[in-house]
Amino acid sequence: MKRQGLRAKAAKKFKATTNSNHNLPVAPNLLDQEFVATAPNQKWVGDITYLQTSEGWLYLAVVIDLYSRLVVGWAMSERMTADLVCNALQMALWRRRMPKKVIVHSDRGSQYCSAPYQKLLSKQELLCSMSAKGNCYDNACAESFFHTLKVEVVHGEPVVIRKEMRRIVFEYIEVDYNRTRRHSANGYISPEMFEAQMVA
């Protein structure tokens, strides 16, 4: 890297986005750090992260299928609300044609414990799973995706307005990450290519 004049992008300090100080009911940890699936729509993981813009924070919620690490649902908002995670889950449901009995794992933040989110899970016959309190390793795959996103397209780049950040995230998820970025868990092929092999 030194010979080529290259330098690695370093991750910034961790900033917590989970508010687990609430009295809402929490679900058991059905996933139990078993991050491998043998087919699509067996296990999904969801999480929220923050993105800094020149106009303030922008929050991103994602839903990732552990079979291929494909981002099957995502949503962005200026506020970290239950609607944010519901919209990401709704996208995943539409994209995957409304599967049933999927384990949907998240942390125990107030958005995931909220009545609207829990109602959506119940209505669609999905199985809610939540991490142990304060254990980021229980949702390591989602945390890893956010780390990759920030290191590759956010950190070290100029701070932009929210509209531009939305475009950047859309292109990263739908054009780069899902379609072309090689993933070690898939034998170093992209999530979409990995799933296409199953159909072929």
Structure-block tokens of residue 15: 């900033």
| Strand pairing class (70-77; 56-65) | antiparallel
Q: How far apart are CA 104 and CA 90, in angstroms?
A: 12
Per-residue model confidence as pLDDT tens digits over 94-127: 999 999 999 999 999 999 999 999 999 999 999 9
- What residue has token string 């070690």? 184
pTM attached to this predicted model: 0.88
Length of the chain: 200
**CA geometry: angle 75, 64, 176, nearest 5 deg:** 75
Per-residue model confidence as pLDDT tens digits over 66-94: 999 999 999 999 999 999 999 999 999 99
Q: What percent of the chain has pLDDT over 70?
A: 88
Structure-block tokens of residue 190: 């992209």
Amino acid at 3: R
Q: How far apart are CA 128 and CA 142, in angstroms?
A: 16
Per-residue model confidence as pLDDT tens digits over 24-35: 889 999 999 999
Per-residue model confidence as pLDDT tens digits over 129-186: 999 887 888 999 999 999 999 999 999 899 999 999 999 999 999 999 999 999 999 9
Q: How far apart are CA 103 and CA 54, in angstroms?
A: 37
